[in-house]
């Protein structure tokens, strides 16, 4: 799955209605331009594509009083909400998700209930264990490279990644179980998007042709 769809849907959903530059600003605020493919062009493309697919509703706004061109504001649809929650659940569950997908899921996880998130993360730990077990049925790192030669380092790398991923996920489970963060239905959520006009301390300062739409 692509992290950009999850990120864009999540940002629009938090705003209620948002134009492309707001979404871009939010994702830069989250640092997504550093750890995902959330670059300006891909953000505007995702907004337009998901509007065509019925996941977002596009609203043409009037030109600004300062004389600027009209902008398109996007609102998530019922189908878009279903897609967003599906992608979010997938991002937290699978052991083989790319780092950008898991990062996007972590940034949006409070849109689910606490118990559901705990269950999804527990499933991720389980699938990591199953995957590791399948690898170690024919490769045991403590036995040395053997017939695999230096290629064994590939499996060493993935096994170490699996172990560290499981440890980190278990630590997150313990923090959430201990009361960390505010999840859906528990009260006022943490606001992870910027309000209109709020300065973004992490903005790249680069302009893009779509910024005025």
CB 38 within 8 A of CB 7: yes
pLDDT band at 212 (very low <50, low <70, confident <90, very high): very low
> Is 27 among the domain residues?
yes
Of 117, 93, 127, the closest CA to residue 180 belongs to 117
Same domain, 151 and 195: no
Same domain, 70 and 119: no
Same domain, 6 and 55: yes
> Is 30 among the domain residues?
yes
Q: CA–CA distance from 185 to each of 91, 107, 114 (Å)?
A: 21, 17, 9
> Is 107 among the domain residues?
no
Same domain, 170 and 194: no
> Is 103 among the domain residues?
no
Q: What is the CATH number of the domain that holds 204?
A: 1.10.10.10
pLDDT band at 201 (very low <50, low <70, confident <90, very high): low
Same domain, 6 and 44: yes
Taking the whole predicted model, whether its pTM rises above 0.85 is answered as no
Task: Supply the range of the domain harboring residue 159.
Answer: 114-182
| Helix orientation angle between 99-108 and 3-15, rounded to the nearest 10 degrees | 20
Tally of domains within the chain:
2
Same domain, 11 and 85: yes
> Is 172 among the domain residues?
yes
Q: What is the pLDDT of residues 133-158, one digit of tens each?
A: 888 887 776 665 556 677 778 888 88
pLDDT band at 118 (very low <50, low <70, confident <90, very high): very high
> Is 106 among the domain residues?
no
The angle at the Cα of 34, spanning 176 to 1, to the nearest 5 degrees, equals 65
Same domain, 38 and 120: no
- Residue 61: pLDDT over 80: no
Q: What is the pLDDT of residues 2-53, one digit of tens each?
A: 899 999 999 999 999 999 989 999 998 888 888 888 888 999 999 999 999 9
Share of the chain above pLDDT 70, in %: 84
> Is 50 among the domain residues?
yes
Same domain, 163 and 193: no
Mean pLDDT, residues 89-108 taken together = 89
Residues 181 and 190: their CA atoms lie apart, in Å, by 8
């Amino acid at each position: 799955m692509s992290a950009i769809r999850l990120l864009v849907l999540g940002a629009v959903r938090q705003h209620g209605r948002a134009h492309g530059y707001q979404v871009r600003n939010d994702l830069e605020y989250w640092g997504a331009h550093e750890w995902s493919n959330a670059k300006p062009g891909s953000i505007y493309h995702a907004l337009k594509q998901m509007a065509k697919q019925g996941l977002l509703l596009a609203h043409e706004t009037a030109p600004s009083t300062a004389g600027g061109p009209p902008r398109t504001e996007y609102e998530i649809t019922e189908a878009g909400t279903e897609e967003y929650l599906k992608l979010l659940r997938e991002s937290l569950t699978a052991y083989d998700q790319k780092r950008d997908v898991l990062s996007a899921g972590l940034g949006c996880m409070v849109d689910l209930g606490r118990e559901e998130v705990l269950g999804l993360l527990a499933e991720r730990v389980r699938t990591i264990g199953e995957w590791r077990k399948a690898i170690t049925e024919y490769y045991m790192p403590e036995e040395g490279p053997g017939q695999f030669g230096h290629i064994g380092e590939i499996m060493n790398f993935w096994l170490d990644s699996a172990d560290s991923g499981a440890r980190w996920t278990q630590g997150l489970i313990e923090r959430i179980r201990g009361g960390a963060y505010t999840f859906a239905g528990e009260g006022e959520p943490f606001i992870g998007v910027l309000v209109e006009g709020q300065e973004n301390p992490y903005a790249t300062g680069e302009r893009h042709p779509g910024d005025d739409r």
